[in-house]
Amino acid sequence: MKQAMIIKSIKNHIQADPISFHTPGHKGGNLIPDQMQIQSGGLWEYDLTEIPGLDNLHKPEGCIKEAQEEAARLFKAKKTHFLVNGSSVGIHSAIMALAHDKYIFVPRHVHKSIYNATILANAKPIYLPVAFEEKSGIPLGIEPEVLKRFILDYPKCKVIILPNPNYQGISYQLEEIIYLAKKNDIKVIIDEAHGSHFLFHKSLPKSGLELGADIVIQSWHKTLPVLTQGSVLHEGNNYQGPDLSPFINMLQTTSPSYLLLASLDSCRVFLAEKGQEILEETYHKLIDFNKKVTTLTTFTINFALKEQRDFLKLNLSSEVFSGLEIDKILRERFQIFSELSEENYILFIFSLKVEDTVLNRLLEALTQIDQMARKKNAKIEKIQKNIYNIIPEQGLAPRDAFYGNKKMISLDVAVGRICGEFILKYPPGIPLVVPGEMIDFKMLEILKGDIAFRDKREIMIMDDI
């Protein structure tokens, strides 16, 4: 019998007894809502389609309509749309609805899906530089004063999209930014992919829904016990704009997975019944865990004192090892998998419900790495570059570049040419260069100096331009 290679790889990974500190939120099935507790063979029975009694996601009138209405009540939204194509389809729908052929403010540290949406909508992005944390080089968000200046410079721009939190779990001055936007009649879209749980604990940052955002898109699967791709789009209570359903229906699959829909609905019940209680327990466990980590002398917890930090995310830096080196040690020696590693830090995402055995295993691994670091007795030089303040000159609109003729050339001779592709690291999926932007000497230096691009020898550029 021939081997199904994907299944083989998945089985090999599971048999190694891994610990997940990355998405999805159910952590390999360790946290499953009661109503999704079905035998593995039963998964096939749940994989159904739009037959009488099961409603239709594209025109919900029965059980799906009721489930979405209950989700809206739980999240205090005007309306909630279930998404089975991930948050990307919600982001694309929102930007197509509000920014078609229009200007939109886009912080430079947002996910690739937002740039893709500007191409789909033929939107005109106005890129905003972002502040960064000097010690780690991690992007934080846009400063209110920066937005004030851009609002004056671009009075016709009436849409802004903001991440809450950013990939590293920081919600940066969001309340002031949203207030400033609404004061100037600017529609606010929030990419809350990593903040689906914010409404359920007082020590978490505020959700965009609480702060008056028009549209909030959440990837429930990232931090909640939901199958991958399960997401939602919420319309804020003050939303006044085009009906979003036609955009969502155009972009979303016409064969929606009932497994994903069941996963979303069961999570909604789980949050209503247990969300606050479980997060309160987890909060105290992680406070205690963080205290233990601070005793490891070669490690530093980034943003430890920030009130606007997601406590389900742990961002660590080492005096001796890079984040990439720590990640390699954790994977190869301890079967522990982080969410993201960079030169200056490593990022872990905890589940809504964390088991003591999981915390103990991570602490033991970090303790051993700390001991290795102290024996090494050498500090690494950290290089902090705020690459998200480097906004290349635009030679073409993103859409024109996307559809234009392109060719591959050597990266060494790309200076002065218009880029025809996204250049980005994944994760976190944040582009350094967007189609239509000029490659200059500064960007070439960044690409050649970043370990993630060390094997990149060629670049797609616009032909005959």
Find, among 302, 270, 289, the residue nearest to 355 by Cα.
289
462 CB neighbour count, 10 Å cutoff:
19
Mean pLDDT across 375-382: 75
pLDDT for 37:
76
Structure tokens at 35: 């109503």
pLDDT confidence tier of residue 428, bands split at 50, 70 and 90: confident
129-159 exposure pattern, b = at least 16 Cβ within 10 A, e = fewer: bbbbbeebbbbbbbbeebbeebbeeeeebbb
pLDDT at 128 over 90: yes
Task: Provide the whole-model pTM.
Answer: 0.91
The one-letter amino acid code at 419 reads C
425 CB neighbour count, 10 Å cutoff:
15
pLDDT for 387:
73
The one-letter amino acid code at 176 reads E
Query: Each residue of 352-377: pLDDT tens digit?
Result: 999 999 999 999 999 999 999 999 87
Query: Each residue of 148-196: pLDDT tens digit?
Result: 999 999 999 999 999 999 999 999 999 999 999 999 999 999 999 999 9
Domains along the sequence of the chain with CATH? 54-273 (3.40.640.10), 274-376 (3.90.1150.150), 398-462 (3.90.100.10)
Query: Each residue of 81-123: pLDDT tens digit?
Result: 999 999 999 999 999 999 999 999 999 999 999 999 999 999 9
Question: How far apart (Å, rounded) are the C-alpha atoms in residues 206 and 428?
Answer: 22
Asked whether 149 and 132 are in contact (CB, 8 A), the reply is no
pLDDT at 3 over 80: no
Distances (CA, A) of 350 to 65, 224, 303: 31, 10, 16
